[in-house]
Amino acid sequence: MTADGAASPGLTREALAQAALRVLERDGLAGLSMRKVAAEVGVKAASLYWHVRNKEELLDLLNDALMADAVAPPRTGHWRTQFREYCLLHRRLLLDKRDAAKVVAGRLAPGPHLIALMEDQLDRLREAGFSDADAAMAAYLLAAYVQGFVLQEQSPIAAAEAAGSSRREVVDAVADRFRALPRDTYPNLVALADDLTDPDMEARFEFGLQRILDGLAALLPPDRR
Amino acid sequence: MTADGAASPGLTREALAQAALRVLERDGLAGLSMRKVAAEVGVKAASLYWHVRNKEELLDLLNDALMADAVAPPRTGHWRTQFREYCLLHRRLLLDKRDAAKVVAGRLAPGPHLIALMEDQLDRLREAGFSDADAAMAAYLLAAYVQGFVLQEQSPIAAAEAAGSSRREVVDAVADRFRALPRDTYPNLVALADDLTDPDMEARFEFGLQRILDGLAALLPPDRR
DNA sequence: ACCTGAACACCGTTCAAGT
DNA sequence: ACCTGAACACCGTTCAAGT
């Protein structure tokens, strides 16, 4: 069927990645074991090592599978709105798959899907007028922001779920801790307890995003901002 | 000796945190087990559960212990230079302790040391002229940036070490992969391969930091920027 | 070429039992 | 009040052996 002449309908690395994706969704990253992925694909754990060097390599495959659904926003309008949209989409993508940020974080070998995304982003940044060096730095900065933010946003949820309480409860507990501090040594924490624990993460994400975009805009000549 | 009247020289939670810190430095986060921390403190693993609910709680203690060495920069000069210094120090702190960013990331319950730090930062931000809401958001943004950046920076090093190759080798390999891409479909990645893999993380960190500070400055009335 | 059984050296956590 | 032995239900990985 395929051009490479191999007839084997057997285990593909792609099939492995999909299986890992299902286990991730079901059991989270902490529950993702070689044994479970193997079972998911109808095989024993030891067999996986024929297809993959070790678990780390399986996570690389999973990483790329997570990026498979990434889409680029329409290439119309100001570069600022394009990149705002880019970051919102990327956050959504990571947020929608369980523990996705944890899988992606600190994994520097980009898979083919991420590579395609980077190419597109760099193209837009250069067209917007950024220098080569600035475009490279800006792409890195935006990716780091989104990943870092979602990691911060998603991990406590998982931890709270594991402990059996809701996100809302956890946040409220933190706010209460702030308010309960001695006002004379922690006047600012007491005063800003509500602002610090505002549960509207959407707004929080947007705030940081706008600051970064403002900062990037300042690199451009005034007529291109 | 102490005011609380307890004579027990036995295991403190503080001693546990210090032991965890030593194990972390020696074996990394992946090698940090309850059994090893117990051994480090001369006790069996099961005993730890008398002092701590579970491993998660031990990691909370470790988290706070990591923040114990944090220092605040001098409160002189422009708010911008104060917060630049703050972020540089915070990055240094995380970078100097093995896997520190991984421990800290996504752990939202702040320990006493982090609480003191937040109080100080909020105070400076408000004095600089930020509104309550903006000060809260800004503190979060800066912390998220530093943690996210160091996580990205530190994890691959650990992975490379585990695989037996140096960071330099890994980065070069990525650059080679970019350059080896077909130039017609990935012209930007090929052209910017060097910029994208610039190993000067110090400069990369500074770039993002300056963009964020620029963006924050734009929130202030012109005369206070 | 691909899969398995069995083993090795580990995990976190619980719990009855000790002192 | 604090610690232990022993057990349970897991891990990732290797390797000889199967087909």
Reported pTM: 0.92
Q: What band does A2 get if pLDDT is binned at 50, 70 and 90?
A: very low
Outline which parts of chain B fall under CATH 1.10.10.60: 13-66
| CA–CA distance, A87 with A103 (Å, rounded to integer) | 18
How many Å from the CA of A44 to C1' of C5? 10
Q: Do A73 and A86 touch, CB atoms closer than 8 A?
A: yes
Domain A13-66: which topology? Arc Repressor Mutant, subunit A (1.10.10)
**DSSP symbols for B93-146:** HHHHSTTHHHHHTT--S--HHHHHHHHHHHHHHHHHT--HHHHHHHHHHHHHHH
pLDDT at A5 over 80: no
Q: What band does B166 get if pLDDT is binned at 50, 70 and 90?
A: confident
Q: Which of A30-44, A202-216, B145-159, B173-187 is least confident?
A: B145-159
What pLDDT does residue B225 have?
87
Best of B95, B102, B141 to substitute, by most chain A Cβ atoms within 10 angstroms, is: B141
Distance from B213 to chain A by nearest Cα, in Å?
7
Measured between its terminal Cα atoms, the distance across chain B in Å is 52
What pLDDT does residue A166 have?
74
Q: Which residue has the tokens 């099939």?
A: A15
Outline which parts of chain A fall under CATH 1.10.357.10: 70-156+200-224
pLDDT at A4 over 50: no
pLDDT tens for B53-105 read 999 999 999 999 999 999 999 999 999 999 999 999 999 999 999 999 999 98
Backbone angles phi, psi at B182, to 5 degrees: -60, 125
Angle between helices B112-128 and B79-96 in degrees, nearest 10: 160
Domain B70-156+200-224: which topology? Tetracycline Repressor; domain 2 (1.10.357)
pLDDT tens for A82-132 read 999 999 999 999 999 999 999 998 887 789 999 999 999 999 999 999 999
Residues of A in Cβ contact (< 8 Å) with B137: 195, 204, 207-208
Q: What band does B9 get if pLDDT is binned at 50, 70 and 90?
A: low
